[in-house]
Every structure is written in structure tokens, then in C-alpha cells.
A and B are shown apart, each in its own frame.
Chain A
Amino acid sequence: MAHRLLVRRIWTLSAKDIRCLPASPATTASSSYSTSLQSSTARVSFLSPSRTLPRSLPHTSRREVSFNVQDHEDFTERVINSQLPVLIDFHAQWCGPCKILGPRLEKAVAKQQGRVAMAKVDIDDHTDLAIEYGVSAVPTVIAMRGGDVVDHFVGIKDDDELDSFVSKIIGQ
């Protein structure tokens, strides 16, 4: 697992480097949000990662905070290249514990008011992606920051454990 994490780190690092070549934010958007909103959010996150987002952009922050991954491209854009730390919730509809953990994760993420995002990956819809990230049992939660996997856990955690997990991700 550690080896895989290392490989992931190197791969995403190079991907990120290329991604970060001077390119106007306008060319980056291919998903649902408008470019201006995204760029301003990105600027805010970069300048003050620990400050909550200005109240004038509630829609963007709520939309960004928790979302379902659509495909590999969407994952690259909204997770690997995210300016926010991201929790990736690998789940399945046939998984009972996932149904318990899901709402708890949403709660823990919502508490952070936009300082962390959550990407939900249904492993039946995105099997290759799940396999790529070494998911075997579900729920598996992987924390990513700047395209690197920084932490992960498998199985259910209670609210306090989740709050502590999320805080650690943001704090680093």
C-alpha cells in the first residue's frame, strides 16, 4: 500500500506540475461551475486556506464541498487538481456500513465550511478508479491534498473520530 501511495504521489506530482503551467482559469473549467466563480474561489483558498469562504459565494462552496465523481477526467480535475484537501469516499450501494458512514462524513465535512471537499465514488460505476487506488473493502476513505494521498481509513468511524481525521487533513 505504501509503495502504491508513493507511486501515486510521484505520478500526481508530475501531472500537477504540468497542470500548473501558466494557464488562465478560464480554460480549466469543463464541469458544472462557471469559470469566474471557480477562479475566485481558488484565489481565496490559496490566500487563506484556514479562513471560511466569503458568504457571498454560498452556492459554490456547497456545490464544491460534496459531489459524486462522474468519470476519470472529472476525478482528475475536481480531486487530484483540487485546491482544497479532498476526502474520497469509496462506497457501494450494496454496502451497509457505507450507508452509515456516508451521512457522518457529510456532517464532518460540512462542519469545516468549505475548507475540505468530499468526492463520492461509487465503486461499481468506477471500478477501475477504485482498483487504481487500491480499494478492496468498502467503505474506504482516502484523503488527498495537492494530488497526494495523505491519509486513509477503511470501515466505519464515529463522529468524533471523523472530526479528528478531517481536522488533521486540513491542518497539515
Chain B
Amino acid sequence: MAAFCRGRHRWKRTNVSCLHVLTRNLTGKYDYDLVVIGGGSGGLACSKEAAQVGQKVAVLDYVEPSLKGTKWGLGGTCVNVGCIPKKLMHQAALLGSAVKDAKKYGWQISGPVCHDWATMAEAVQNHVRSLNWGHRVQLQDKKVKYLNLKGSLVDEHTVKGLTKAGKETILTAKNIVIATGGRPKYPTNIPGAMEHGITSDDIFWLKKSPGKSLVVGASYVALECAGFLTGIGLDTTVMVRSIALRGFDQQMSGLVTDYMETYGTKFAWKCVPKRVDKLSSGALQVTWTDTHTGNEHKDTYDSVLWAVGRAPETKALGLDKLGVQLNKETGKIVVGADESTSVPNIYAFGDISEGRPELTPTAIKAGKLLARRLAGHSTELMNYDNVATTVFTPLEYGCVGLSEEEAEKRHGKDSIEVYHAFYKPLEFTVAERDASQCYLKVVCERGGDQKILGLHFTGPNAGEMTQGFALGFQCGATYSHLLQTVGIHPTCAEEVVKVNITKRSGLDATVTGC
């Protein structure tokens, strides 16, 4: 039996390598029409679309374990350590608030309601695993060759794939697409940061509760994580070096963080961590400087989560050898409007490419369009404008278009009109919840039909709400269109179509009841 099994494997291996030599030498053609390095949102969409339009495609996906040893399956950041687990844990936190509100609505809930991390984590992790499998089946169905190998470039038409053990596989391709995305950064100058801290790569896969947590950073990753940690009942502090949600409308950012502070998240503004030490108890002692006062402070935490930015996964790709141009500051791959790099027939898109939004939907769409162009089926380029997004903090923030600051910069303060309103979701009334940060604003051109330049909304279900308006935005909606639209009652979204107070007027923007 053993002899038989070994024999079969030997035959298989020889046969395969013979086939490779045959393909390269005899016909001069490549093994594949397209090889995609990276099996995330972008890579999978691109490879499946390419197969759909008749290309012979292979996709390589490989997850380098995090410093803490966390690893995951096929699907990339979004599925495994991003959007999906984040939204599920955000939902877990929202349900906690809902349970508290429920009593006011008549539900007889005896005693305090507690949250069990292990139950939530297992459920979330199980769902993610089902998605890993789903993606695997989809690749099989669409006839995309899947290889769990760490890909790197040998030359413009050759990709090397390595197994964990170091075994090599060589693939040749007419075109190569790089969609390897990014990974969280660790601070390099803080002693103890790497040994004792975790990142978003780890938080969703923890089997035990992170306990009292310090989240360092003020990106949406930091705020969303801190948000759901607070929501499930954990003592959470956010340490912010300068401002929160850099790049987003700063007025809205303030509303988001104000709400979080009201609801129990602690903020250490203008503070910078200096060192992290592990105590004999196992707890982590963090020393930081308050840059306002110059004073040093210490406190202990069970977990320290670094959310201080993401770095592109380019190190192991062998890009410098081929002369693929990278942006010196960010390290991301410089790309043209058609996702091409400085090397012909090598393309890059998604989080790895410079100047692109780090979002799943843009990566998916860009990937599909690229696949079609490479197969010669289309010339359509990806439109990166007017992309709507939502930050899933405890008070969600949805937006599409320009921030007020950006609109002012581009058009001049006198050429824009900002309509705004503070509103109160009906559901908050009975629940006696504070709605001070529930707000919306529509930034428009001041003249003509008043084209809408940007729309911003904080409130429950901001993501669901903003999606519809994003369509209007894409169609070139104006303030007059807004006035012509009748609201759905009673909703929060109707306040957008009813908005009429301008910032310029200085009038009180609080909406009165119907």
C-alpha cells in the first residue's frame, strides 16, 4: 500500500514538471493568460471575471501570519480581518444598546445583560470560514486555478510560488496582476510595541476577550474597533496623536468622537505612547506623553491594539528587480488610469496601488474592468469618483462626495452653500437616548441648480441610508432635485430631502417634530 502511494506521487510530480517544460519550449506560449497574485476582494473578482471571459487564469493567495501568529483563509482582508468581522462585531455592540433600550419599550429584562466574547467570536469566525469555503467553491466553479502559494515576480511573464515549506512552483503568464493589498503597521520606535501589542489582524480572531483595551490611532479602523469594544462592555481608551478620521470631513469626525465619548469610550487626545511593558501579572503597562502638557502618564491594560496605518504588501514581491515603480512615501505601486504599472503587462490595483481608495467595492469593480480590458473585451476604465463610504462607529457616519473643507478649497467658501440639520431619530425618543450628534449636511454649489458636491450623515443605519443617495449623486443630483423629492415618513433619511437651513444663515438647524 505504502509503496503504491509513493509511486503514484512520483509519477504525478514528474508528469507535471514535464508538462511545464513542454508548454514553455514547444509551443512558446505561456502557462496562463493571466496570473493574479493576491486572493482578496480585488484578486478574486479579477480572476473570476477573466475566467468568465475565456481566459486561462490562476490566482495565488497566501497569508503571512501576523506577529502574533494569526492566520486565515481565502478571501483577503475584507472577508477575514476587515469589513465582515468588523460589521458583525459592530452589530453585536449595537444589539447591546438595543437591549438596554428595550426595557423602555416594555421588554421585561431581568437583571443586567452581559456579553460573552467567546460566543460572539466563534460565531463570527465560523461565518468567516464559511466565506473562505464559498470563495474556494466559486473559484472551482468559474474554472480559476487556485494555488495557496506565496507569489513573487521572477520576470515580466514569470511568477514564482512558494509553499510554507519553501517548495517552488513556476508559472508563466501573458499578463500578471498584483492585488496583494496591505497589512497593519506596527510602530517601529516604541519599545514593546511588537512584542506585546496586537493589530486588526488579530482582534477578530482572539478566542478570549481582549479585556481592558487601549486602541492607539484615530483612523476608522481604530474608532470602529474601539466602538464595538466599548459596546460589548469593555473598558476602552482611544489614544489620538493629533486628529481623528484624517481625510474625512472634520465636523462630522467630531460628531462621531463626541458620541463615542458620551457612550463610554475614553479618549486620550494629543497623546503619544512611549513604551509598552509586560507586568508580572500579565497585564500591559503603557507609558505615554501628553503632548499638550508634556507630562508622562502610565496605565495598565489587558490589550493594546495598534491602528496606526496600513502598509502595502510589496516587500516579498520582487518588484525592485523588475523595476516596478513604487511611490517613495507610501511604498504603494504607482499605477496609470488603466491599472498599469511601469512594467508592460504587469498591472496592480486595490489597496496596493497608489492614490486609490482602500475599499472593497472599488477593488472588485476595478478588478472586473481590468480583466475585461486584458481579455480585449472592453476599454472601460474604472471611475474612482463619487464613491460613497460609511464608518461603522457606534454612531455611524455615511458620506458621498467632497468634505466641506475640500469643497471650500476647490470652489471657494462663497461659491458653496451648506444645508444642514440636527435631527432626532424617532426610535431614540422612547429610548430616551441623546441624539445631539445625529446630524446631516448637504454641501452644494451656490449658483444655478445647486449641484450637490457632498452629502454627510451621522445616525443609525448610515450605510443603508447613504447608498441610495449615492445613486442620486452619481446621476448629478442638485439641491432642486432634493426639494422635489418627497420623504418617506417616519425615517431619518427623509430629513435629507427636507433640509433647508443653511450654515450661512446662522439659524438654529435643529429639526422640529412633524
Contact = CB atoms under 8 A, between A and B. Distances in A.
Contact of A93 (B1, B3, B126, B136): B126
A108 interface: no
Contact of A124 (B4, B5, B132, B141): B132
A99 to B, nearest CB: 11
A131 B134 CA distance: 11
B58 to A, nearest CB: 15
B130 A27 contact: no
B130 A95 contact: yes
B1 A28 contact: yes
A23 interface: yes
Interface string B1-15: 111110010000000
Contact of B130 (A28, A73, A92): A92
Nearest to A28: B1
Nearest to A18: B4
A131 B5 contact: no
B185 to A, nearest CB: 30
A27 B2 CA distance: 8
Interface string B179-196: 000000000000000000
Given A23-B1, A73-B5, A92 B136 contact: no
A30 B140 CA distance: 32
A124 B140 CA distance: 15
Interface in B1-58: 1-5, 8
Contact of A19 (B1, B130, B136): B1
B137 A94 contact: no
Given A27-B1, A30-B2, A76-B5, A94 B127 contact: yes
Nearest to B127: A94
A3 to B, nearest CB: 14
A30 to B, nearest CB: 6
Interface in B116-136: 125-127, 129-130, 132-133, 136
A22 to B, nearest CB: 13
Interface string A122-143: 0110010001000110100000
A76 B125 CA distance: 31
A93 B122 CA distance: 10
Contacts of A135: 137
A92 B2 contact: no
A159 interface: no
A155 B1 CA distance: 34
B1 A30 contact: yes
A77 interface: yes
Nearest to A81: B1
B70 to A, nearest CB: 16
A90 B2 CA distance: 25
A124 B125 CA distance: 13
A52 B294 CA distance: 83
B62 to A, nearest CB: 14
Given A18-B4, A30-B1, A123-B133, A94 B141 contact: no
Given A124-B73, A124-B129, 17 more contacts: A18-B4, A19-B1, A23-B1, A27-B2, A30-B1, A76-B5, A77-B1, A92-B130, A92-B133, A94-B127, A94-B130, A123-B133, A124-B133, A127-B136, A131-B137, A131-B140, A135-B137
Interface of A: 15, 18-19, 23, 27-30, 73, 76-77, 81, 92-95, 123-124, 127, 131, 135-136, 138
